[in-house]
Amino acid sequence: MKKIIILTSALLLGVAFMAYLYFSKLGIDNDAKDLALQSATNNAALVFSFRNDKSFYDIIEGQHLIQQVLGKDKMTLLKQLKASIIDDNLLNRYVKDQQVYISVLPDSNKTLNFLITLQIQPENDIKKFYGQLKIKKVVSEKAKDLFTVKINDSLSVYLGVHGQVLTASTSLKLINDANVRLTENPFTEYIKENNHQIKNVLANIYINFNQAPLLLKNIIAGNINGEIALFNQQNSFAVLNYNFSREKILFNGSTELKDQHNYLKLFENTAAQNTSIQNILPDNTANYALYAYDDYRKWLRKLNTWQEKKEILSKTDAVIKRVKNDYRTDLNFIFTNYTKNQFIVFQLSTSEKLGAISLSDGEKTKQLLLDVSTDYNDDIKLFKSADILYSYFGEPFKKFTRPYYTIVDNNLVVANNASTVQSFLNHYKNNRLLIQTPQYLDAMNEISTTSNVSYYINTKNSADIFRHNIQLSFYRHLRADSGLKSFDTFCYQMSADKNKFITNLLLNKYIQPEIPDSLSNRY
pLDDT score for 197: 55
Q: Where is average pLDDT lowest: 109-113, 206-210, 487-491?
A: 109-113
pLDDT score for 517: 56
CB atoms within 10 A of CB 187: 24
Question: What residues does 204 pair with on adjacent strands?
Answer: 49, 241
Banded model confidence at residue 281, pLDDT cuts 50, 70, 90: very high
Name the helix (H) or strand (E) containing 287: strand 285-292
pLDDT score for 29: 41
Cα distance between residue 495 and residue 70, in whole Å: 28
pLDDT score for 178: 87
* pLDDT score of 167 more than 60: yes
Q: Which of 44, 51, 36 is nearest to 192 (CA)?
A: 36
Banded model confidence at residue 516, pLDDT cuts 50, 70, 90: low
pLDDT score for 8: 40
* pLDDT score of 25 more than 70: no
pLDDT score for 283: 98
Residue type present at position 349: S
Q: Express as a percent the part of the chain with pLDDT over 90.
A: 56
Banded model confidence at residue 70, pLDDT cuts 50, 70, 90: confident
Q: What is the mean pLDDT of residues 114-124?
A: 89
By the 8 A CB rule, do 190 and 253 touch?
Answer: no
Residue type present at position 95: V
Domain range annotation of the chain: 37-233, 259-508
Q: What is the mean pLDDT of residues 80-86?
A: 83
Contacts of residue 129, Cβ cutoff 8 Å, sequence gap at least 6 = 91, 94, 120, 161
* pLDDT score of 31 more than 60: no
* pLDDT score of 142 more than 90: no
Q: Which of 365, 220, 342 is nearest to 288 (CA)?
A: 342
* pLDDT tens digits, 291-323: 999 999 999 999 999 999 999 999 999 999 999
Residue type present at position 243: N
Q: Where is average pLDDT lowest: 177-186, 208-217, 237-246, 280-289?
A: 177-186
By the 8 A CB rule, do 273 and 451 touch?
Answer: yes
* pLDDT tens digits, 476-500: 888 888 778 889 999 999 999 999 9
Cα distance between residue 504 and residue 252, in whole Å: 5
Contacts of residue 381, Cβ cutoff 8 Å, sequence gap at least 6 = 369, 373, 374, 375, 404, 405, 406
Q: Where is average pLDDT lowest: 166-170, 324-328, 450-454?
A: 166-170
Name the helix (H) or strand (E) containing 396: none
Q: Return phi, psi of residue 146, to 5°.
A: -135, 125
Name the helix (H) or strand (E) containing 473: helix 472-479
pLDDT score for 222: 64
Contacts of residue 347, Cβ cutoff 8 Å, sequence gap at least 6 = 227, 285, 286, 287, 288, 353, 354, 465
* pLDDT score of 350 more than 60: yes
More confident call, 89 vs 134: 89
Q: Where is average pLDDT lowest: 128-142, 331-345, 350-364?
A: 128-142
Name the helix (H) or strand (E) containing 151: strand 146-152
CA 42 to each of CA 115, 138, 178, 179, 193: distance values in angstroms, whole numbers, following the listed order: 10, 29, 7, 9, 17
* pLDDT score of 420 more than 60: yes
Q: Where is average pLDDT lowest: 3-12, 105-114, 401-410, 457-466?
A: 3-12
Q: Which of 173, 60, 159 is nearest to 116 (CA)?
A: 159
* pLDDT score of 191 more than 70: yes
More confident call, 521 vs 77: 77
* pLDDT tens digits, 218-262: 887 666 555 555 556 678 999 999 987 878 899 999 999 999 899
By the 8 A CB rule, do 253 and 238 touch?
Answer: yes
Q: Express as a percent the part of the chain with pLDDT over 70.
A: 88
By the 8 A CB rule, do 219 and 254 touch?
Answer: no
Q: Where is average pLDDT lowest: 197-211, 213-227, 393-407?
A: 213-227
Q: Across the chain, how many H-helices and E-strands are there? A: 20, 22
Banded model confidence at residue 119, pLDDT cuts 50, 70, 90: very high
Secondary structure, 3-state, 427-469: HHHCCCEHHHCHHHHHHHCCCCCEECEEEEEECCCCHHHHHHH
Average pLDDT, the chain: 86
Banded model confidence at residue 156, pLDDT cuts 50, 70, 90: confident
Banded model confidence at residue 111, pLDDT cuts 50, 70, 90: confident
Q: Which of 510, 471, 511 is nearest to 490 (CA)?
A: 510
By the 8 A CB rule, do 450 and 495 touch?
Answer: yes
* pLDDT tens digits, 434-473: 999 999 999 999 999 999 999 999 999 999 998 888 888 8
More confident call, 480 vs 360: 360
Q: Return the SS3 of 176.
A: helix
Q: What is the mean pLDDT of residues 351-362?
A: 97
Residues in the chain: 523
* pLDDT score of 428 more than 70: yes
